[in-house]
A = this chain, B = another copy of it.
Amino acid sequence: MSHNTFGHLFRVTTWGESHGPALGCVIDGCPPGLALTPEWIQGFLDKRRPGTSRFVTQRQEPDAVKILSGVFDDDRTGGPVTTGTPISLMIENTDQRSRDYSEIRDRYRPGHADFSYDAKYGVRDYRGGGRSSARETAARVAAGAVARCVLGGVTLRGAVVQIGPHAVDRSKWDWDSVEQNPFWCPDRDMAAQWESFLDETRKAGSSAGAIVEVHASSVPAGWGAPVYGKLDAELAGAMMSINAVKGVEIGAGFAAAAFSGEQNADEMRAGNDGVRFLSNHNGGVAGGISTGQDVVVRLAVKPTSSILNEVKSITRDGEDVDVRTKGRHDPCVGIRAVPVAEAMMACVLADAKLRHRGQTGR
């Protein structure tokens, strides 16, 4: 992962600012011959799109993706397929309200990258957060849609497991429920509770954090490359690179610290087709290599930094100032992080698959 590129063989480079003309990504190293249409990518972008419920930002962006290269269609290919050359995807920014940015230009918003970007670069595109805006994640989602084509049989599913202090009851987990509420919540009862909690949060001019969990099923044993390219290390870096994420864990994660050796051991028994694990505290990864169990990752998303309530800050010139952020913001950015985290998981796994195949021929 190098500045705005991640991946080794399946490499994604993203570009674009929140209020520039467009944003997009270039995917290099994609295998040839995979069916790929704009509609396929659009389906995933629509999951992330703003304005879909009152619990996410009201910014209206169709987020329509264009494929500019790397895909070819003629009577021989039987529809558009990847050619193995770079796939360039572009999403035009259409809802760039022309407004007065002088406030955000001169004042550092706490929790945002305003201060640190200025410290690093000495100049920044402050309109809507510029490069540090979560709009960049649209490009990740588009890339993830391509990665899914590479992954074939692997299934990726994400859910929100906690909003604010309210965590789901895992005994009620139902993957079907996830698509049936605006929170990607696998616990129907908790979804109702979150609804009132977030309504209150919004009315209070505040915001809430969340925990997101992503599962990848049918990942073959053997993906990942010790020791610095461990599958879990790559996943941790990928997830932590998502805006507002402050923590990542694999399998039992932080809870493992309180376990005894016996509790934590994922015991094995002979199964019908190879090994059968009796538990999955390791989250599908041992020694940095997939075991064939579900790969399970969780990420902590901090509360949206843009809040209506006043917070203390300074101006660019070092004067004290109090800041309140008006405008259209997600009361809980963790919700829209679900398709983004799925996409990052897809990209990491696609890259791991190609690298494994490169080294071992399997």
Contact = CB atoms under 8 A, between A and B. Distances in A.
Contacts of A123: 32-33, 72, 76-77, 81, 83-84
Contacts of A250: 240, 246-247
Given A68-B21, A300-B256, A314 B116 contact: no
19 contacts: A1-B229, A15-B69, A112-B286, A116-B290, A119-B292, A120-B360, A209-B258, A227-B241, A233-B238, A233-B241, A236-B240, A247-B248, A254-B300, A255-B300, A261-B303, A263-B303, A264-B302, A274-B318, A358-B358
A5 B11 contact: yes
Interface residues of A, number: 158
B2 A1 contact: no
A149 to B, nearest CB: 14
A253 interface: yes
The quantity of this chain's copies bound in the complex is 4
A162 interface: yes
A127 to B, nearest CB: 8
B15 A70 contact: yes
Contacts of A256: 209, 246-247, 300-303
A319 interface: yes
B3 A228 contact: yes
A13 B209 CA distance: 36
A16 B136 CA distance: 22
A223 B283 CA distance: 32
A20 B267 contact: no
A215 interface: no
A24 to B, nearest CB: 7
A225 B1 CA distance: 10
A211 B263 CA distance: 17
Nearest to A84: B121
B268 A31 contact: no
A108 interface: yes
A260 B197 CA distance: 12
A206 B260 contact: yes
Name the prevailing secondary structure of the A interface residues. Answer: mixed
A312 interface: yes
Nearest to A27: B15
A17 interface: yes
A283 B111 CA distance: 11
Interface in A65-80: 66, 68-70, 72, 74, 76-77
Interface stretch (A175-183, A186-194, A349-357): A349-357
A283 B105 CA distance: 24
A307 interface: yes
A83 B287 contact: no
A246 B130 contact: no
Nearest to A221: B119
B268 A313 contact: yes
A69 B233 contact: no
Contacts of A258: 162, 164-165, 209
A257 B1 contact: no
A188 B237 CA distance: 34
A102 B16 CA distance: 38
A239 interface: yes
A125 interface: yes
A359 B11 CA distance: 11
